[in-house]
Structure 1
Amino acid sequence: MGKRKLHDTTYFQCDWTGLPMRTTNCYMPDWHETTGKLLKHGSYCCWEAVVAHMIEQYFTDHPKWKRIMDHITELVGTSVSAAPHWKRLRWMQYGKESRGELSTIDSANEFLAEVQMGMCPFAAVVVNSSGDASEVHCYGSDVAHRFGPKLQTPKQAQNMPEHEPQSFITARKKLGKDRDLVAFYWPFKNGLPYNSTVSNLLKTQIYGDVIFVQQTREACFLPRERFINFTLTQYNEHFTNKTRRKDGASMLSSAEWGAAKEQMQAELQQVEAAASSNAVLPGEIAKASVLPPPTGKELARIARARADEEWVRPLLESGELRLY
């Protein structure tokens, strides 16, 4: 629906829901017929709305169908389902009309909540207090409870369902410009064993299990959470020191390193001895550079050269200074 202006404020309108947005957010991808250049059409509140509009425009056997879906999947990092149909939106209906027996969506928050219900299962990594990492599969129910079912629960929180694990984005380790690595854990000294492995990795004190999940930073008209796969292989690659040699055969033993060090020191001493073979002691250099004291003739010559100076001429005229 393009860019609009109201009350001296510009905004964009979603081509699927009609919702106003401050930015264009998502787009319908297309490609130039001759050059193959990516073209971005329209403005959409989320990628699910793009998929829904594509389904309404094209049949499943259309050549653009797979290419558009592959493009969105690559951007988001997982498969994306279609958003609710626009006929279910209250602001798009006349009177009490609705689409069949489906319920009506009354607000933008309800629309986003139903969109997020279509989240696909994803992989995550749990690191227990012993430092052992394992890969687990998470679902929408785990996200709703902030991954509490995947973590060991402290005793004081077992009978208090209102308490949930906390989370933070691991700023020390970045996955990319559009991905965040989020750690969920039970905070404080909660009675669980100290997790030294994760505490050293993240430079903070953590007790009990920690689950690492990968979250996207995608364009959306409202803040949202979308978690995608973070496998055990990715965890090992992400938190492994890349400068550390993995091939033990290429490393020197302590005895070999000691012998190599002695050889290098001996060669260095030989080079220094060859460079300093023609050197002279500093005292001899200073002794050779001493000049003999000046004679009387030299002093008289210097005095005559300075006779024209103001402080010398009065002394010569008064007889206090004589030149021999």
Structure 2
Amino acid sequence: MKHSDRRIERRSTTEDAAIDWFILLEEYPEDPQVRQEFESWLNQHPEHSNVWKRVTQTSSLLGQLGQESLEPNVNTGEIAQLAVAHKSLFAKIRPHLTVGFACIFLLLSSISLIPHLMIWIYADHKTDVAQSKEIRLQDGSKIYLSAYSAVELNFAADQRKVNLMRGEVLFDVAPDADRPFVVTTGDTTTTVLGTRFNINKGRSMVSVGVEHGHVEVAQASNLQEKLDLRAFEWASLSEHGKQVVRTVNQDYIAAWRQDKLYVEDQSFEDVLFQLRRYMKIPVIVLDPRLMSKRVTGVFNLNEPRQSLDAISAAHSVQLRDFGFFVAISMI
């Protein structure tokens, strides 16, 4: 299978919130609660107003471009078909999206269709929100996908390669001295011959934990600091090359298999990124200051909303549930 290593540049939290509000206002234009919460967010900081102006201007320009530059019956299926001619996406996408919204979402970064299309095209196995799956590979290895995860496989006579495109996966690798088992995620590469280990692709870091055997972990941004992890060792590797290694108990590795999330001095942004994989409604952060708060605790992944309640109670954070989304703000 042809491998794609397209990287999507991450937006700031304020831009994330602005685009979330754009979508909600489009979907619920007459809802007074949505309008009231939006006005509150807009007035919290001058930056919010500036970012909102850029989003709406981009939407307007792209809408005009969609009307003037494309035939009326051209749709996103045809655009995607041109971009990836070897895949027949036209029939899948055609009933759902218009050109105007396709342009908006394709160009407005991480909640756009681009990362979803790349997973749709290249992923061999994936899970939805709050779903897990066990897969037996052709070499006898097993992989266990946690919620909202996706992998691309590239197996041949001389190689066993897996690209972790999103989420968290536990690998139980069958020994094969002639074919190392290699997992890539972003700029991090994990290489083994036969072992059981877990990899989690977080918001701004990758973590690797080993249940038994050992693995070699390397980052393209920090090739001088390769890690050799043994049983019950866990490492986190940031996108800036920072590496932290420590010994943990067995329950900590692949804790999601017991529906638990262990958190020790992580940012609220990283924790929320994990919990969102288990939440079936959007979570909107109205105040970017929340993202830097530090969180420690053990949370139940079967009850992500209760986990958010517990974090909120400990950090003077207010949650408001509107049924179709949850808004988070400072008290």
Q: Give TM-score scaled by structure 1 length.
A: 0.23
TM-score normalised per structure 2:
0.23
Largest Rg, 1 or 2: 1
Higher RCO (CA-CA < 8 Å; seq separation 6+)? 1
